[in-house]
Amino acid sequence: MRTLNYRRNIVGKAFIVLIISCLLLIPGYTLADTPNNSFNTTPLKPAYIDSLDDLVDVQVAHRLAPFHPLPPRTSNVDIVELLQQLNESLIQGYLANLTSFGPRLTGTEACNQSAHYLYEAFQDMGLAVRYHNYTDSTVSGSNVEATLYGSDSSNIFIICGHYDSVAAGPGADDDGSGVAAVLAAAEIMRNYEFYYTVRFVCFSGEEQGLIGSRHYAEDAYNSNDSIIAVLNADMIGFAPSASDGIKGKIFENDASEWIVEFTQDISQLYADYINIELFPQGQSGGSDHYYFWQFGYDAVFYHEYNFNDYYHSANDTIGNMNLTYSTRFTRLILATLAEMALQPRPVLEISSITGGLGITSQVTNVGEVNASSVNITISVTGGLLGLLDVSSTNGIDVLPPQNSLQSKAKLFRIGNIQIGVTAGASNADQVTKHATGFLLGPYVLKLVITP
Ligand SMILES: [Zn+2]
């Protein structure tokens, strides 16, 4: 009995030890498996809200169109020239100017002075600049936006950071580092011509719940702005050790995955100037990219690997930053932005819809580069109980500029019909056109394109 009891105890104890070991080991394994090895992690939420639940819930459809999977170009002459101009003293100068106003809590005089400084800095660069004012129940303020127009101004890329800080400190890293990146990118890019328009945007109201960027994204959405990518830099200058100085975080949603890949390609392509490996983190509600997601735009959030020990304190100073790291991280964002803005995209146009024997429609690539995986679909509806419903699709792998692809739908009945033609490509916006007609046997008569 005794022996048996003893053995039972041994087994019981061994079992308990095993359970405890598992409990200890499982989180240990999880930690080792994730790129983040710091317990002090990321800005989970803006400073002055209680939880992410306090952020406004927006329900709009993703824009769908701007998927942009082009690899970085192989010609890198211009980009290297840009990167060579981005050095520590440029970053340090902007940080010194920005922190000279003291804490930049939104609504305070120091914050307004900072906005004025940014406005004048952009103006001195020769860029089109404006205040984007917002009024909100929580806080009111101004974002500062500068624009570098591209030869195709219908598509827009954004680099952004927030210039407001918490009341407790000078916000050198949070987010002077991001604003310095925006200013440095503007200062360098302004001397070059880009294919697409680039906006350099500094938000306020971030710490109160992403207020400035929410209004900005909402206004962009309501204006139907075609923003292809938003690159948000928030806290990219803290790296106390050498190993922290070669790593960075990037937060993304599924739709923005392509920006992560694009940035990683850039990081390798210009490794000599950048030398930062990026670790994707998934979604975050902790910074200004968030409402771009909410309004259906693609956006990412760049962030230091080792979270700042002096976050939201009086010690978030330039002295506690790693300017070499900040400079390299800024180069990564600059090169990504510049490469994206230099990439021309194909543009599809439905050039004709004609009747006669069946319906024939044609899509033309009116852009400057090849369109990939192009398809055109003609859908016909009409007749009693949809008796006339029919659709016809044609596709092609590559459609060069100024070339067309045709699709033909054949029918045989009588009645009024509605026609919808849709064309898409993996690297271009989808386009749609509608028409009406009358079907008499195999012939489509009175075909009229709907304006
Ligand atoms: Zn921040």
Give CA–CA dist 18/300, Å, rounded. 42
Give CA–CA dist 23/46, Å, rounded. 33
Nearest to 134 by CA among 52, 46, 226, 201: 201
Q: Are residues 207 and 316 in the same domain?
A: yes
Indicate which CATH number applies to the domain containing 288. Answer: 3.40.630.10
Q: Specify the 3-state DSSP secondary structure of 118.
A: helix
Q: What percent of the chain has pLDDT over 90?
A: 68
Strand-pair partners of 418:
381, 436
Which of 324, 342, 360 corresponds to the end of one domain? 342
Which of 297, 312, 342 corresponds to the end of one domain? 342
CA of 207 to the centre of ligand 1 (A): 7
CA of 18 to the centre of ligand 1 (A): 43
CA of 214 to the centre of ligand 1 (A): 15
CA of 182 to the centre of ligand 1 (A): 14
> Residue 178 corresponds to which tokens in the numbers above?
């991001």
Q: How many CB atoms within 10 Å of residue 413?
A: 15
Q: Sorting pLDDT into bands at 50, 70 and 90, what band is 252?
A: very high
Average pLDDT, the chain: 87
Q: Specify the 3-state DSSP secondary structure of 51.
A: coil
| Pick from 4-18, 22-36, 335-349, 431-445: least confident | 22-36
pLDDT the model gives residue 25: 44
Q: Are residues 153 and 187 in the same domain?
A: yes
pLDDT the model gives residue 151: 83
Look-up of token digits 């012939």 = 443
**Is there a domain that residue 335 lies in?**
yes
Q: How many domains does the chain have?
A: 2
Q: Sorting pLDDT into bands at 50, 70 and 90, what band is 296?
A: very high
Mean pLDDT to the nearest integer, 318-334: 98
Which of 296, 313, 342 corresponds to the end of one domain? 342
Give CA–CA dist 182/279, Å, rounded. 22
- 157 within 8 A of 231, measured Cβ to Cβ: yes
Q: Are residues 250 and 279 in the same domain?
A: yes
CA of 303 to the centre of ligand 1 (A): 10
CA of 252 to the centre of ligand 1 (A): 16
pTM of the model: 0.74
CA of 309 to the centre of ligand 1 (A): 14
CA of 210 to the centre of ligand 1 (A): 9
CA of 119 to the centre of ligand 1 (A): 20
pLDDT the model gives residue 70: 55
CA of 146 to the centre of ligand 1 (A): 20
CA of 380 to the centre of ligand 1 (A): 52
CA of 261 to the centre of ligand 1 (A): 24
CA of 236 to the centre of ligand 1 (A): 10
Q: Sorting pLDDT into bands at 50, 70 and 90, what band is 428?
A: confident
> Residue 402 corresponds to which tokens in the numbers above?
């100024």
Strand-pair partners of 132:
143
CA of 166 to the centre of ligand 1 (A): 9
Q: Sorting pLDDT into bands at 50, 70 and 90, what band is 7?
A: very low
CA of 265 to the centre of ligand 1 (A): 26
